[in-house]
Amino acid sequence: MNILPAIDLKDSQAVRLFQGDFAQKTIVNATPLAQAREFAEGGMKYLHVVDLDGALEARAVHAPLIAKIKQENPRLFVEVGGGIRSMEQVEDYLNQGIDRIIIGSAALTNPEFVKQAVEKFGEKIAVGIDAKDEKVAISGWLEVAETDYITFAKEMVKLGVQTIIYTDISKDGTLAGPSVAHYEKLTSALPTTKIIASGGVSSVEDLRELMKTGVDGAIVGKAFYSGKIGLEEMREIQGGQSC
């Protein structure tokens, strides 16, 4: 299973939120470039970057900063989500060397966009599904739809999406443990799709439990920043097939 340390960007700083609440923000590193460099020098292979301001404003607010993160750390496989609403934004990120684009809210409101992006860029396109009480949430987690996460994931796979990044909002930033049952359902319903787990990871034991579900990767955020999981531990677990 691959490990993807996370950098969430707000006001050009690396932050962590509690259950997606922008009012409950903690700055974990005022210099995201330094944080990315730490992950790269620490032997990590992947980096998960979220433009939180972009998610709120429906545009790529931190695109220049994210491009610089990739430029300074070319060996990192960098995936980016947050505020991606058009093919132009997708193409701009890819032209800057970003390895994978995560389409979030727009996947629910504009599935044709996902279809076009996948047809043009294939596996470079992932869909991020964030759920609250198993229902899909959009617009920086401020709105909740009536669509359940399994149904929505199946719809995205029918469009050709090969990678799904699933977050249970109730777990995000809580260190309460991941929603293992949700990932068991996803990997069972979509056995040929790459599933990346996000939210709630608090320990190496949590990562080992996620490995048992068959997910291809796990995102680690607050557990790293709070010192519960170190770089060495993440390096020991990462490996296997690319996620």
- Is 130 catalytic? The answer is yes
* Catalytic choice (8, 51, 168, 206): 8
Tell me whether residue 8 is one of the annotated catalytic residues. Answer: yes
C-alpha 3/C-alpha 196 separation (Å) is 9
Among candidate residues 51, 53, 130, 168, the one labeled active-site is 130
Dist. CA 90–CA 102, nearest whole Å? 9
Cα–Cα distance measured from residue 243 to residue 238, given in angstroms and rounded to the nearest whole number:
10
Q: What is the per-residue DSSP string for 9-78?
A: EETTEEEEEETTEEEEEEEEES-HHHHHHHHHHTT--EEEEEEHHHHHHTS-TTHHHHHHHHHH-TTSEE
196: which 2 tokens? Answer: 């990346």
What is the CB-side half-sphere exposure of residue 202 using CA atoms within 13 A? 11
Count the Cβ atoms, other than its own, within 10 Å of residue 182.
21
Active site residues: 8, 130
